Amino acid sequence: MRHRIFLAGATGAIGQRLIRLLRAAGHHVTGTTRFEAKAPMLPALGAEPVVVDVFDADALKQAVLSAKPDIVIHQLTDLPPGLDPAKMADAIGRNARIREEGTHNLIDASIAAGARRLIAQSIAWMYAPGPQPHREGDPLDRAADGPRGITLAGVVSLETQTLQSPPLEGIVLRYGQLYGPGTGSETPRGQAPLHVDAAAHAALLAIDRGTPGFYNIAEPNDLIATGKARHDLGFDASFRLPNG
């Protein structure tokens, strides 16, 4: 089935790969960026561009209303290129704000526009210590403090809002550590690596598959179990875009 898609965060590492997949599947894509300078890349990829700041609730609502989406995909982050360690300390707070306030604004706009489903990016390494691999029903690390605690608060807010904002059908993709084009690493990294193409493909699959809830998305690993995503979404960690 073809859909009208509103892709928030379209110029990010996942967003750029996802536009190609969405267009190949026949979907109409409206993609957002905060920066005028990045807008020209979106038509080149096949998306209708919108320059909007997720923290400007009124402008965001008008953008989503104009796009008339039935599916909204939340791939918004505020991270430094290549996850530069020297800049990550400042980015943690900004990223948590996007997950909290930005998600709130995007959900309000999505409901106002009559969207049916919201697919949101989360992360898979916030589980509390315990037996591994972690499944989606395992508790998160709510005892975390410091930078991890800031990140956790943002994650909890994003996930709760995504799943508890009827009539939207909320799907949360808990991504592993990304590698591949645009991520700052061309080789697997972390305890639950995930190629950016496979991450984008999981979002594509979630448009028409799966029921509301959480899905761990990563390559086979010892940290998190990915059987639910493979069974319900048809997720394949080996997926790669043709022609790089």
Mean pLDDT of 140-159: 96
Q: Identify whether 239 is part of a domain.
A: no
Q: Identify whether 202 is part of a domain.
A: yes
Q: Identify whether 243 is part of a domain.
A: no
pLDDT digit string, tens, across residues 107-131: 999 999 999 999 999 999 999 999 9
For 147, the domain range is 4-232
pLDDT digit string, tens, across residues 180-202: 999 989 999 999 999 999 999 99
Assess contact for 53 and 60: CB atoms under 8 A: yes
Q: In the numeric block, which tokens belong to residue 211?
A: 């029921």
Residue 7 pLDDT level (bands cut at 50, 70, 90)? very high
- State residue 243's pLDDT score: 80
Count how many domains the chain has.
1
More reliable by pLDDT, 218 or 81: 218
CA 75 from chain centre, in angstroms, equals: 3
In the chain the first and final C-alpha atoms are separated, in Å, by 26
Whether residue 61 is predicted with pLDDT greater than 90 in this model: the reply is yes
CA-based nearest residue to 224, from 234, 214, 216: 216
Whether residue 144 is predicted with pLDDT greater than 80 in this model: the reply is yes
- State residue 79's pLDDT score: 76
Whether residue 165 is predicted with pLDDT greater than 90 in this model: the reply is yes
Q: Identify whether 128 is part of a domain.
A: yes
Cis peptide before 80 (omega within 30 of 0): no
- State residue 91's pLDDT score: 86
Whether residue 80 is predicted with pLDDT greater than 80 in this model: the reply is no
Whether residue 82 is predicted with pLDDT greater than 90 in this model: the reply is no
Mean pLDDT of 217-235: 98
Residue 40 sits in a domain of what CATH number? 3.40.50.720
Q: Identify whether 189 is part of a domain.
A: yes
Q: Identify whether 238 is part of a domain.
A: no
- State residue 78's pLDDT score: 85
Whether residue 83 is predicted with pLDDT greater than 70 in this model: the reply is no
SS in 3 state form for the chain?
A: CCCEEEEECCCCHHHHHHHHHHHHCCCEEEEEECCHHHCCHHHHHCCEEEECCCCCHHHHHHHHHHHCCCEEEECCCCCCHHHCHHHHHHHHHHHHHHHHHHHHHHHHHHHHCCCCEEEEEEECCCECCCCCCECCCCCECCCCCHHHHHHHHHHHHHHHHHHCCCCCEEEEEEECEEEECCCCECCCCCCCEEEHHHHHHHHHHHCCCCCCEEEEECCCCCCECCHHHHHHCCCCCCCCCCCC
Q: Identify whether 240 is part of a domain.
A: no
Mean pLDDT of 211-217: 98
Q: Identify whether 237 is part of a domain.
A: no
